[in-house]
Amino acid sequence: MKTYRNIVVLTGAGLSAESGLATFRDKDGVWSKYDYREVATPEGFARNPALVHEFYNMRRRDLKSVAPNAAHLALARLEREHEGSVLIVTQNVDNLHEAAGSHNLIHMHGELLKVYCRHCRAGQSWSEDLSTDLACPACGHKGGMRPDIVWFGEMPYQMEEIADALADADLFISVGTSGNVYPAAGFVAEARNHGAHTVELNLEPSEGASYFHETIHGPATSVVPEYVARILKR
Ligand code: OAD
């Protein structure tokens, strides 16, 4: 059986679902309750910053009561025990990969626990609520502090590093993502074109399931630890 050297794992909201954080597009998901144009676009923030702050304040507060699940822990174990490289590229803005012990991690859609000022761009860690009358600690401007979240219409982070890692990967694993949002949804094709074996681990077949060489369906807390154990046994 083939052994792998460079592994890239793309993760999405389904990975954190069993920790108690809502996904976006499932029944009762975040986008069934909120219009993404109002809370996840620069235009929505310009129209109603208080609403956007309320939305992300709620999600930031949720992080105080959740813990990594068996799937996050298995991916951290993969990074620790695999002899080659393991890079996690997450679309999730929670901090559960870090809490599980993953280090080689890219938050391509930003982080709930970071904010920046849209006037001076100074960024910082932030675990409390944001409000419209808050002054930026760096430049003193009021009203410009925003969550460090990549909104629709904005460029995801570290795309060059991700492209390099996908080109070098010989195994690409996608976990808990519906494959609806580009550029992440295109990573499987990119990795596959460069010769990687591609695997989908998801509750159900995603939009892009047919692009994968291998698909395993079930809850992340069972399919991810099982798949990681398989890789580490090789
Ligand atoms: P989605 O809500 O679109 O998809 C979640 C996927 O996880 C679905 O395919 C579910 O079937 C699957 N799933 C649900 N529970 C699961 C479980 N217990 N185990 C395994 N899989 C499970 O979330 P994402 O694909 O992450 O972006 O969404 C991508 C981006 O769209 C997000 O980063 C966010 C959103 O708009 C921004 O806000 C910029």
Residue 23 has pLDDT above 90, yes or no: yes
Closest to 97 in 3D by CA, of 84, 85, 113: 113
Q: Is 109 annotated as catalytic?
A: yes
C-alpha 206 to ligand 1 mean position (Å): 10
Say if 80 falls within a structural domain: yes
Residue 148 falls inside a structural domain: no
Tell me, what CATH number does 159's domain have?
3.40.50.1220
Between CA 234 and CA 230 the distance in angstroms is 7
Q: Are 71 and 225 in contact (CB under 8 A)?
A: yes
CA distance 93 to 108: 9
Q: Is residue 10 part of a domain?
A: yes
Q: Is residue 26 part of a domain?
A: no
Q: How many domains does the chain have?
A: 1
Query: From CA 170, how far away is CA 126, in angstroms rounded?
Result: 36
Within its chain, how far is the Cα of 42 from the centroid?
20
* Residue 13 Cβ < 6 Å to ligand 1: yes
Question: Average pLDDT, stretch 6-25?
Answer: 97
Confidence tier at 3 by pLDDT (50, 70, 90):
confident
Q: What is the pLDDT of residue 43?
A: 97
- List the domain range (segments joined by +) for residue 74: 6-21+66-109+153-233
As to burial, measured by CB atoms within 10 angstroms (0-12 exposed, 13-18 middle, 19+ buried), residue 140 is exposed
- Segment 129-187, tens digit of pLDDT: 999 999 999 999 998 899 999 999 999 999 999 999 999 999 999 999 999 999 999 99
Residue among 24, 155, 199, 216 whose CB has most ligand 1 atoms within 8 A, to mutate: 24
